[in-house]
Amino acid sequence: MEDFEFLRNITIGQYLPGDSLVHRLDPRAKISITLFVIIAITFNISYMANVILLLACLGFVLLSKISLKYILSGVKPAIPFIVVLAILQLLFYGDAYIPYNAESQTILRWGWIHITNGSVQLVIISTLRFLELLFLTSLLTNTTTTSDLTNGMEAMLSPFSKIGVPGHELALVGTTALRFVPILAEQLEIIMKAQASRGADLGTKGKLQFIQTTRQVIVLIVPLFIDAFRRAEDLILAMQARCYIGGRKRTKLVKFRFSRADYVAYFTMLAFSAAMTIFRNAFPF
Amino acid sequence: MEGREPIIQVNDLHHNYLRGTPLEVTALKGVTMEIYPGEAVGIIGRTGAGKSTIVQHFNGLIRPRERGKVIVDGVDLADPAVDIRALRQKVGLVFQYPEQQLFERFVGDDVAFGPLKMGLPMDEVRERVREAMEMVGLSFEAFKDRYTFTLSGGEMRKAAIAGVLALRPKVLILDESTSGVDPRSRKELLGHISRLHEEYGLTVIFVSPNMEDVAELVDRVYVIDDGRTVMSGTTREVFSRPEELVRYGLGVPQITEIVHELAQRGKLPPTTVISVQEGKEAIWKILNSSAT
């Protein structure tokens, strides 16, 4: 019934204050670990490896002391897409996907529908991967403040500035985008409420709710875009008023320093992800 | 008011935002109020007191799901089978910065959005748009074909309010809808609203941080602090207790404060004035009596 509370469902990008081991880790370590595990997820297509990776991600969630229920609630808005994707993969992949460590076998062939053990595997692995990625990315933003994320990314990109990579600007673009997700969600909520108050079929239960919403998206998108542009302009003005110039010899109040926990976490996860990537074909199933 | 059924009845209402997440916050912890048909009622309270949360219950944007009851025109809003669309036609809610909801290219089309959604015939829609625009002081002929986004801030706001009035609500809620426009537009808007209240008998619920506006427009006031109803009464009664209001982070209209202080200094018999006109009279009285 609480049809308008988007922030209940958008968990990515929402910082949750806390004092867990994951919260205290150096942002550079967290970003690196996220990247390592994403690489491992990208390369592994076997059931066993993905279960191990999912368990590892669950382990991170437990360590962060953020409720699993909260992170899982972030899946809710994506469920329709996952389902549609899964159905398409299941029905149409056929022989195109060769299953891991097994012969391709047809399970069902009926007209143009062709289900093989490969397409079944693909659906399961895709869902597992989606969950792993969701856990990782939510967790990174749930436990790291935006400024830590920016500074961490910038520090990691600084070695590349010698070959002309604009590290500071890239970090700024990335974190501004992340920061705006909850802001725009909140604004969308206000606009939805305002339009519903003057007769739009939003937040009313009815048949074909999905189709209605799609048709009515215009009453939300136009005001939302106007607002987003206004906010972007305000941000530019505020930055210019403070004489902002991208990263020129700026000193930092807090210098990052790797503690022992950071080194341990960094190298453990580096070794883990490397092993998972190198031995990706060694899993029995 | 005796013997009449309240159009909106709120009893011990509680509400938590972001329920079931680590960011859950309590917004309401016991709000009680009654609003009768044809009344103009003010809801005041400091920022974050829960005013907007309360009024969003009145047209079903938020549904009571914890403790408490909201009954609008005899319908209990906790009932999941409530006809929300009918409710939203009955109770029109205008938000802060309502110009942010405009989306159509032409002003007339934007005002017509609500009536069109109701499925009314074209003549009726046109009639309602004309009426709603004239109600807020936008000439139908002059403005219906203007580009929405070329209007001034004050005009956009009037157009947005007309968009809600075109639904012909019984109750009009203005949630800080008069803040942030130039003084002239604000004055005009207040004039139009009070005319709607007096001439058409519209029930008006007015949420505003501006005590002068509240004093001018409404008959009765509810004071909300920390999610609870802490004071209620006629505008005059509430503004006669400035010390309490200050404790809740509020104040009284400037003229009320001046006369109150004059009374404390023994220059005036203790009275509560709520309009500049009354204040002027009271001050003239002492000036005249000291002259003779």
- HEC-encoded secondary structure of B64-76: CCCCCEEEECCEE
Nearest chain B residue (CA) to A205: B84
Which class for B94: exposed (0-12), middle (13-18), buried (19 or more C-beta within 10 A)?
Answer: buried
Start-to-end CA distance of chain B, whole Å, equals 44
Is the pLDDT at B111 greater than 80? The verdict is yes
Which stretch of DSSP H or E encloses residue B93?
strand B91-94
Please tell me the predicted confidence (pLDDT) of residue B128. 94
Contact flag B22-A198 (C-beta cutoff 8 Å): no
Which among A240, A13, A243, A233 has a CA at the least distance from the CA of A144?
A: A13
Task: Identify whether the C-beta of residue A5 lies closer than 8 Å to the C-beta of residue A77.
Answer: no
State which H helix or E strand residue B234 sits in: strand B228-234
Query: Nearest CA to B255 among B194, B209, B211, B190?
Result: B211
From chain A, the residues in CB contact with B84 under 8 A are 203-204
Contact B20 A201 (CB under 8 A): no
Chain A neighbors of B80, CB-CB under 8 A:
1
B62:A2 CB<8 A: yes
* Mutation choice for A interface testing from B87, B100, B104, B175 by most A CBs within 10 A: B100
Which pLDDT score is estimated for B290? 72
Say which residue the tokens 């070959």 belong to. A163
Distance CA B189, CA B160 (A): 12
Q: Do B220 and B233 contact (CB within 8 A), yes or no?
A: yes
Closest C-alpha to B222, from B212, B213, B233? B233
> Sign (positive/negative) of CA torsion B61, B66, B68, B69?
positive
**Which residue among A5, A193, A226 places its CB closest to the CB of B18?**
A5
Q: Residue B3 has what pLDDT?
A: 57
Measure CA B96 to chain center: 11
| Neighbouring C-beta atoms of residue A7, cutoff 10 Å | 17
A190 chain-B contacts, CB cut-off 8 A: 95, 100
Which of A5, A67, A227 is opposite residue B22, by nearest beta carbon?
A: A67
Phi and psi at B9, nearest 5°, equal: -130, 125
- Taking the CA of residue A17 and the nearest CA in chain B, the distance in Å comes to 10
The SS3 call for residue A113 is strand
Dihedral over Cα of B1, B3, B7, B11: its sign: positive
Q: Which of A23, A71, A188, A198 to mutate to test the interface with B (most CBs of B within 10 A)?
A: A198
The string of pLDDT tens digits covering residues B215-240 is 989 999 999 999 999 999 999 999 98
Strand order in the sheet with B220-225: B91-94, B171-175, B203-207, B40-44, B220-225, B228-234
Per-residue confidence of chain A (285 residues) as pLDDT tens digits?
346 776 666 777 778 888 898 999 999 999 999 999 999 999 998 999 999 999 999 999 999 988 888 888 888 878 888 899 888 888 887 777 778 877 778 878 887 888 888 888 889 999 999 889 988 988 998 899 888 888 888 888 888 878 888 877 888 888 788 778 778 888 888 898 898 888 877 655 555 555 666 667 788 888 999 999 999 999 999 999 998 887 666 777 777 888 888 999 999 999 999 999 998 888 888
Contact between residue B114 and residue B164 where contact means Cβ atoms under 8 Å apart: yes
Assess whether pLDDT exceeds 70 at residue B262: yes
Residue B147 — very low, low, confident or very high, per pLDDT cuts 50/70/90?
Answer: very high
What are residue A175's phi and psi, to 5 degrees? Answer: -75, -30
Q: What does the alpha-carbon distance between residue A208 and residue A167 come to, in Å, rounded to a whole number? A: 47
Which residues, listed in sequence order, are joined to residue B76 by a DSSP beta bridge?
B71
CB contact (8 A) between residue A198 and residue B18: no
Question: Look-up: residue for tokens 């950071």?
Answer: A262
Specify the higher pLDDT residue, B16 or B23: B16
For position A2, what pLDDT does the model report? 47
In this predicted complex, what is the ipTM? Answer: 0.87
Name the residue with higher pLDDT: B112 or A208.
Answer: B112
> Cα dihedral angle (A177, A182, A185, A191), rounded to 10 degrees?
-100
Q: What are phi and psi of A105, to 5 degrees?
A: -130, 140
Nearest chain B Cα to A199, which residue? Answer: B114
Average pLDDT along chain B: 89
**Residue (of B222, B162, B214) closest to B30 by Cα position:** B222
- pLDDT score, position B122: 93
Q: Residue B172 above 90 pLDDT?
A: yes
Q: Is there a contact between B43 and B222 (Cβ–Cβ < 8 Å)?
A: yes
A158–chain B nearest CA distance, Å: 35
Backbone angles phi, psi at B8, to 5 degrees: -130, 130
- In whole angstroms, how far apart are CA B38 and each of B51, B160, B199? 21, 23, 10
Long-range contacts of B183-186 (CB under 8 A, 24+ apart): B184/B154, B185/B153, B185/B154, B185/B155, B185/B157, B185/B158, B186/B213
Interchain proximity A199–B22, CB inside 8 Å: no
Q: What is the pLDDT of residue A198?
A: 86
Position A182, amino acid = P
